[in-house]
Structure 1
Amino acid sequence: MSTVDKQLEDVKATIDEEVPRRISVSDVTYEGPELVIYTRDPKEFAANSDLVRRLASKLRKRITVRPDPDVLAPPAEAEEAIRELIPEEAGVMDLNFHADTGEVVVQAQKPGVVIGRRGSTLREITQEVGWTPEVVRTPPIESSTVENVRNFLKQEREDRRDILERVGRQIHREPMSDDEYVRITTLGCCREVGRAAFILSTPDTRILIDCGNKPGANGEQPYLDIPEAFGAGTNGIDAVVLTHAHLDHSALVPLLFEYGYDGPIYCTEPTRDLMGLLTLDHLDTAADDGRTPPYDSEMVREAIKHTIPLEYGDVTDIAPDIKLTLHNAGHILGSSVCHFHVGDGLYNVAFSGDIHYDDTRLFDGAVNDFPRVETLVLESTYGGRNDYQTDQEDSERKLKQIIQNAYDRNGKVLIPTFAVGRSQELMLVLEEAMRNGDIPEMPVHLDGMIWEATAVHTTYPEYLRDGLQDRIFDEDKNPFLADRFNPIDGGDEEREEIADGDSCIILSTSGMLTGGPVMSWLDQLGPDPDSTLTFVDYQAEGTLGKRIQRGIDEVPVSGSGRNEKVPLEMTVETVDGFSGHADRQGLENFVKTMNPRPEKILCVHGDESATQDLSSSLYHDQNIRTFAPENLETFRFR
């Protein structure tokens, strides 16, 4: 008998002691980080609300109770009963039954009405039909990405359960070594922006944090072939943790499955969905540009199937000697500061991912309050000594003036931006400005994946600021549903009509002009001196966006047999303050107010001068030991 099986026997014995005799327990198993109890008496469990809490406290594990499939009412019969129990004003739109987990997902316009006072309606549902209800809000904008991901996971539920059981046994195995050490190896994004990837290792475990590409540098990947990663074989990595979905952090996660990786990916639920959206688009863009994609769409599906979503604040076992907690990073939807607790109080490491320290229109600022942190791995995108951005109010004022000036010339404003995060922030600014009369009413065209990414935002309102949540679910006040927003779906023909038309604003991917529909807009509008190209996002070294900021006066265009350069006669403007990254002051404030103060800081994800400037400043001002590592360095902390 394996140590895990013996452990499960002991756990079941403890459960049998605690559970009243009238409640049967048919099976106990690990599924991912959770201990799952199957019972033929789900109604009794539902009626005894303190029982699960008591068991979780005694066993010190996250517990999920599921009904034995044999006791579930047939879905058709259960649906009829559930609809009778839920008040009509809840606006139930759909019910999806998952026999493998015994869960029924109730999609409703008013989840609170479905839940009932202190969960009373949910308990009634379980007592009546045996199924465990999970309630989700009907999003005001339908997302094909979210729907496709959920349908795919439903189709793959048997494979997924096998994956979760295997992962669960791996997490709860006995430690294999008596040694104690913690190491971090840098595989990318050191003294550069992009291709984020790190290995956090102990004698028993190796965790890969992020695996992204490098904007503007075709083919430059993290150093995955070194012994600390996949050079020693595919069994070297126990888990992947993804801070957020931007491609410089997520683009090459599906590639891991080409290497033979078959383990879990931990991130928030919106990060999972956005990773699917952005990586599939990454493949399409590569094909459109005549480049060989680094993997195929099947690997994206594998990544989604292996993802285990976590919520902010949940302490989760991801290895025998590592617990993970995700916290809001304030950067984009679902972005996380990842806190790792190693061993039994041995050491604590936090990876900031990309952070925004101050509140924005979309998100609360990054969390920097932890039980313990000895080492912080900190992004340094705007870590240079002069990287101070204008505040939000001044940035918005400048953007409005740029738009007014272009409107007065009957020109257009082209804003290249990332589909996720900055686009939605800009939509909120533009909607309010037009509603208040700060700028003239005009169409705002959304090109690329911006509308779909916006739909994903409305699917996960709990990750947005409270005031925005309330507005999203008031149909008359939802800023994203304003009539002035026009998703582009007619391709180049529609773009030509817009380019020949009246003044307007165009938000288009890609944000760094590394491909995507913005290249078509440059072709159309580049020679127009009445129009304005406005940068609001960070432009990495080597990208076309950076070269334009430095003054080039023509841009390459290709496609349809063309391969030429177009003169760039548009006015070029840059508006600081809309970035999803903290500026130099924000990074310093994040560290200064961090509780507790870290003993060491690794400054990463910034160009060479930015990482070194920030490292030097934090050392002198905060009296903290700091490093500006290069790629392929390893740091031992214990």
Structure 2
Amino acid sequence: MVIEERLKELRDKINEKVPAGITVSQVEFEGPELAIYTDDPKRFADEADLIRILARDLRKRIVIRPTILEEPEKAVNDIKSVVPEGAGITDIFFDADTGEVLIEAEKPGVVIGKNGATLREITKAIGWTPKVVRTPPIESTTVKQVRQFMRSVNDERKDFLRTIGRRIHREITNKDQWVRVTTLGCCREVGRAAFLLSTPESKVLIDCGEKPDNNNNGTPYLYVPEIHPLSQLDAVVLTHAHLDHCALIPLLYKYGYEGPVYSTPPTRDLASMLQLDYLEVIRKEDKKIPYTSADVKSYLKHSIVLNYGSVTDIAPDIKLTFHNAGHILGSAIAHFHLGDGLYNIAFTGDFNYGKSRLFNPAVSTFPRLEALFMESTYGGANDMQPARKDAEEKLYETVNKVLERSGKVIIPAFAVGRSQEVMLALEEGMRLGKIPNVKIYLDGMIKEATAIHTTYPEYLNSDLRNLIFREGLNPFLAECFVQVDSNELREKVVLGDPCVIITTSGMMNGGPVMEYLHNLAGDEKNALVFVGYQADGTLGRRIQKGWREVPLGRRETIVINLEIVTVDGFSGHSDRRQLMNFVGHVQPHPEKIFTIHGDENKTIDLASSIYKRYHIETHSPMNLETYRMI
């Protein structure tokens, strides 16, 4: 059946469902959604359950597009007359191509109304389809620029979404039934995550990252025949925004990929921020730049965002659902439903099966599950992390000890995730008098990443949301935090009073942490505190192992006299105990488990232990292997 025939069939079914008097002028696939164009969006709004019924019966994600729209100037006044005054509207933007109006408000719940009642009133009043976002407590330059850019490419986006929509909903021509996964990186190693999921009809790439120690083998095996040409890929799915998963996605566009990248909204924003920063770091180190900022824009232009729990067609025979992974903001376990009930497979990305200050634990219940690819960063038999409370007490103890001897605490941390966890712990420690009230300097992309966290509070756990929005206490806005935004201030921090410095990069492979190390490493009063995983081959791992002289550039070395402290327990990864518990709690139990994203001995040990305890078939795959699932 050709697409036009399919759309006509869907339009006929829609006309059977809609009440008399509502006209449907056009039906079109737009990305994973079915867009219904109508002259009567107000009547659709009156029928509160109609869209839900259509979505259920047609088994499609439905969006209503009005063909007749009120003038934006008049619509602004009508919106403000419908929405209660307490909403705190800060911005209204009209997208004529989609017929949507984006309303930014301090209290989005007031704009939405009970069960969406106020949104329906807005549609009835102006015809436009309203979407509501929260006004960020900390303004994010990245979010602002992403929104502006996405508005600037409206026409191209519309054409792209229609092209992708027709590709997703093409007729299945192959009668064979099989599912294969090819490992293109991240097996028996940490970094360069990339996996190719294939059926006779479709190909999907999961993640495309770099390796933290990228001097050798820093790129996934993107040249192998299974993935070429890149134009044959149906989709790229991004689990989260750490560079070992997202750094090289723009490279795909440089070499011919023109399809969508699916992620959660915060993952899209964080990934673009970190990709641009990644280019800047490489430029400063005088290394070969893998792609340009134009390729990052190509990624944004082709991005499609999905919220947790939204079941979405991404290929004729593949549905994708994201579930909370508990690792960093917007991190997701990607669950794929293949064929008409043929097979189900999930990729955890990085995940945390324990509650943290920022997030709820990773989801462990799925509708169906036959195979699971799970990370094993802390999969070794002795990889037990202390409780978060004990980790925080050790951090407080270290900070107190260093400040008492008039030293400075340097904490290298990932801009996304780890930095915010440490910030919350230190802020509470000061508020409760557990550590002295000193300045905490943030250097690198940390403040901007924190601003993005406040843009998406629905992705934070309920305790933190309540603290910020009900109790009016936003710990990220505490006076102790000071952004280092110039070389002059960095110099003052180095020469100034005892303090805490949280700075990127987390594994010390570049970034502003090198400035602090250069200036402060020689003084034994100071301390370098590791709060996250240090991959093999990184400078952080070498110092952690005890190196007392480390290279800075080609000619200079740094003598390490300052105290080295490792505070385990802040990781966004599950430890060995949690990994085993996760497997025990996963519902339904998978038939096969593949242990990935960990040092070789850890992935092998975890696979062996899972098999012994749970009698599930396990594999510790190597790179460049292909597994047939069915």
Quick one: which of 403, 406, 415 aligns to 1:407? Answer: 403
**Secondary structure, aligned partner of 1:66:** strand
Quick one: which of 516, 523, 541 aligns to 1:521? Answer: 516
Whether 1:97 aligns to 2:113 is no
Question: Take 1:10 and 1:530, find their aligned partners in 2: how far apart are those partners?
Answer: 75
Matches within 5 A, 1:595-614: 595-614=587-606
The residue identity in structure 2 corresponding to 1:550 is K
Deviations 1:135-180 (A, max 9, x none): 1111100001001001100000111111111111011001120000
Hey, what does 2:33 align to over in structure 1? Answer: 34
**Secondary structure, aligned partner of 1:49:** coil
RMSD of equivalent CA atoms:
1.1
Matches within 5 A, 1:131-170: 131-170=128-167
Deviations 1:541-589 (A, max 9, x none): 000000001111123334xxx9411211110010110011001111101
**Secondary structure, aligned partner of 2:359:** coil
Percent sequence identity is: 56
Hey, what does 2:568 align to over in structure 1? Answer: 576
Question: Take 2:227 and 2:128, find their aligned partners in 1: how far apart are those partners?
Answer: 42
- Shift of residue 216 of structure 1? 1.2
What TM-score does the superposition give when structure 2 sets the normalisation length?
A: 0.98
Hey, what does 1:543 align to over in structure 2? Answer: 538
The residue identity in structure 2 corresponding to 1:629 is P
CA contact (8 A) 2:210 2:245 kept: yes
The residue identity in structure 2 corresponding to 1:540 is A
Whether 1:356 aligns to 2:348 is no
**Secondary structure, aligned partner of 1:292:** coil
Question: Take 1:5 and 1:218, find their aligned partners in 2: how far apart are those partners?
Answer: 51
The residue identity in structure 2 corresponding to 1:460 is Y
Structure 1, unaligned runs of 5 or more: none
Question: Take 1:77 and 1:585, find their aligned partners in 2: how far apart are those partners?
Answer: 59
Hey, what does 2:614 align to over in structure 1? Answer: 622
**Secondary structure, aligned partner of 1:349:** strand
Hey, what does 1:10 align to over in structure 2? Answer: 9
Question: Take 1:625 and 1:17, find their aligned partners in 2: how far apart are those partners?
Answer: 49
Question: Take 1:452 and 1:294, find their aligned partners in 2: how far apart are those partners?
Answer: 24
Hey, what does 1:554 align to over in structure 2? Answer: 549
Structure 2, unaligned runs of 5 or more: none
Matches within 5 A, 1:167-182: 167-182=164-179
Question: Take 1:121 and 1:166, find their aligned partners in 2: how far apart are those partners?
Answer: 33
**Secondary structure, aligned partner of 1:340:** strand
**Secondary structure, aligned partner of 2:438:** coil
Deviations 1:383-411 (A, max 9, x none): 01111111111111111111011011100
CA contact (8 A) 2:592 2:616 kept: yes
Hey, what does 1:225 align to over in structure 2? Answer: 223
CA contact (8 A) 2:319 2:338 kept: yes
Hey, what does 2:447 align to over in structure 1? Answer: 451
Hey, what does 2:290 align to over in structure 1? Answer: 294
CA contact (8 A) 1:285 1:515 kept: yes
Hey, what does 1:330 align to over in structure 2? Answer: 326
Quick one: which of 96, 103, 106 aligns to 1:106? Answer: 103
Hey, what does 1:81 align to over in structure 2? Answer: 78
Matches within 5 A, 1:351-390: 351-390=347-386
The residue identity in structure 2 corresponding to 1:447 is D
The residue identity in structure 1 corresponding to 2:245 is H
Whether 1:272 aligns to 2:268 is yes
**Secondary structure, aligned partner of 1:16:** helix
The residue identity in structure 2 corresponding to 1:239 is A
Question: Take 2:413 and 2:118, find their aligned partners in 1: how far apart are those partners?
Answer: 44
Hey, what does 1:25 align to over in structure 2? Answer: 24
**Secondary structure, aligned partner of 2:249:** coil
Deviations 1:516-545 (A, max 9, x none): 000001011111110000001100000000
Hey, what does 1:234 align to over in structure 2? Answer: 230
Aligned residues: 629
Hey, what does 2:181 align to over in structure 1? Answer: 184
Question: Take 1:401 and 1:386, find their aligned partners in 2: how far apart are those partners?
Answer: 24
- Shift of residue 52 of structure 1? 1.4
CA contact (8 A) 1:33 1:318 kept: yes
Hey, what does 1:123 align to over in structure 2? Answer: 120
- Shift of residue 101 of structure 1? 1.0
- More deviation in 19-28 or 562-571? 562-571
Deviations 1:31-63 (A, max 9, x none): 111100010111111111122122222211111
- Shift of residue 66 of structure 1? 1.2
CA contact (8 A) 2:231 2:259 kept: no
The residue identity in structure 2 corresponding to 1:440 is P
CA contact (8 A) 2:230 2:252 kept: no
Question: Take 1:566 and 1:334, find their aligned partners in 2: how far apart are those partners?
Answer: 37
The residue identity in structure 1 corresponding to 2:574 is A
Question: Take 1:474 and 1:140, find their aligned partners in 2: how far apart are those partners?
Answer: 14
- More deviation in 80-89 or 595-604? 80-89
CA contact (8 A) 1:458 1:472 kept: no
What TM-score does the superposition give when structure 1 sets the normalisation length?
A: 0.97
Whether 1:590 aligns to 2:585 is no
- More deviation in 215-224 or 307-316? 215-224
